[in-house]
Amino acid sequence: MSVNETKMKQTSPKHQLEANELSSLPPRDRDEYSQKILMNFLEANPAGATTSEIMDKTNLSRTTITKQLGTLMKDGKVTESIHAIGKIQVSVFKTVGKRIHEKRVKDQFSDDVFYSFFSVERDRERYIYIQEKEIDEFRKERVRGAIAVSSKDFDIFIKEIMQFALETGQKERETERRS
């Protein structure tokens, strides 16, 4: 689907602040609100959107959009893909997918690390999305890394992981025996 085609179907988030309301918010609340609006917009438009398209449909400024999309990408919630239209390159932003279920699993050895399992829907396909998160020095959650595996490939993926763990486990034991 081309960037122009996606623009036709874009819907704007229903509940938004007016520009003068938004400017009266303190910075932290403004950031949180902007991220919420961006996520709502991208979830409602799964084909993705460019910064200009987001600007058209929300009351957010280009600077805010760019800054907050950067944060969302760092948190593993949004991805960026580059599309070429002639000689111009355009960034299209998409959510990782619409989250259907969420489960938290704690790291057995560290209280500050945990994994979030999500079932997400993207482009009418289901994915298992796993994030490794840590609690940073400010007691805030931070995503260290993430992986999305299509539900179709999940069985093969698990088999391969098991196989890999067995092989590497075998190798570790062999190394231990030799030493």
Partner 1 sequence: MSNPIFKFKVSSVDEDRFGWVRQAEFGQRKLSTPVFMSLIKGKTEFDTYIDFMNTYKVEHLGACIIPIIDAKSTTERKITKLKELKNQNRLFEGGLASNRLENFFEKTLVGIDPYTEYPFYEFDNTLLKMSLSLAIPESLRQLTSDIYKFKLDNKGDRKAILAYSERKYVKFYLDLKADPASRTAFVRDFVNSESARGASFGIPSGPLVIHKFKDEMFDVLKEFTRISKALWKGECLTYLPIEQKCLSDYEFMDKVSDYIEKEDSHFALKVKNFDLIRSDSLTRNSFMKFEERLKIFRKEKNKLAILFEAGPQAIPCSVFGFDMVSTSMRALDKDGAFGANESKGRGGYFDPTWLLIRRYKEIVQIFKSSGNKLPCSCAVCKSITDLDALTTEFWNTARRKHFLFTMNGLMTEFTLNIKEKRIDLSYDRIVKSELCPLKRIIPPH
Question: Residue 49 in contact with residue 77, Cβ under 8 Å?
Answer: no
93 binds partner 1 (CB under 8 A): no
Among 5, 18, 155, 176, binds partner 1 (CB under 8 A): 18
Residue type, 111: D
Question: Which of 76, 69, 74 is closest to 34 using CA atoms?
Answer: 69
| Region 30-49 residues binding partner 1, contact defined as CB under 8 A | 32-33, 36-37
- The number of C-alpha atoms within 13 Å of 58 and in the hemisphere containing its C-beta is 28
Rounded Cα distance, 149 and 96, in Å: 11
14 binds partner 1 (CB under 8 A): yes
Rounded Cα distance, 115 and 102, in Å: 10
Which CB, 17 or 73, lies closer to partner 1? 17
- The region of 29-37, 85-93, 117-125, 150-158 touching partner 1 under the rule CB under 8 A is 29-37
11 binds partner 1 (CB under 8 A): no
Interaction site with partner 1 (CB under 8 A): 14-18, 20-22, 24-25, 29, 32-33, 36-37, 102, 141
